[in-house]
């Protein structure tokens, strides 16, 4: 592979997510970890706002 074709993983994932209109990896992690970290009580009184 030539040096001109090298890109960072961050750039590739960012382009992929913007093309696919996917949530960023960080947003996806927060949504998936919210209930286990915050518990049922806080989870009941909050909603995702993305």
Predicted local distance difference test score (pLDDT) of residue 25: 74
Give the phi and the psi of residue 40 in degrees, each rounded to 5. -65, -40
Predicted local distance difference test score (pLDDT) of residue 35: 93
Region of residue 21 (phi > 0: left; psi between -120 and 50: alpha; otherwise: beta): left
Q: What is the mean pLDDT of residues 19-45?
A: 82
Is it the case that residue 36 has pLDDT exceeding 50? yes
In a domain, 21, yes or no: yes
> What is the rounded distance in angstroms from the CA atom of residue 31 to the CA atom of residue 33?
6
User: Is pTM, for the whole model, over 0.75?
Assistant: no
Q: Name the domain count of the chain.
A: 1
Predicted local distance difference test score (pLDDT) of residue 1: 46
Q: What is the mean pLDDT of residues 28-42?
A: 90
In a domain, 20, yes or no: yes
In a domain, 50, yes or no: no
Predicted local distance difference test score (pLDDT) of residue 37: 93
In a domain, 1, yes or no: no
């Amino acid at each position: 592979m030539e040096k001109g074709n090298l890109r960072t993983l961050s750039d590739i994932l960012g382009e992929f997510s913007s093309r696919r209109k996917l949530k960023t990896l960080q947003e996806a992690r927060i949504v998936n970890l919210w209930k286990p970290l915050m518990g049922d009580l806080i989870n009941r009184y909050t909603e995702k706002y993305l």
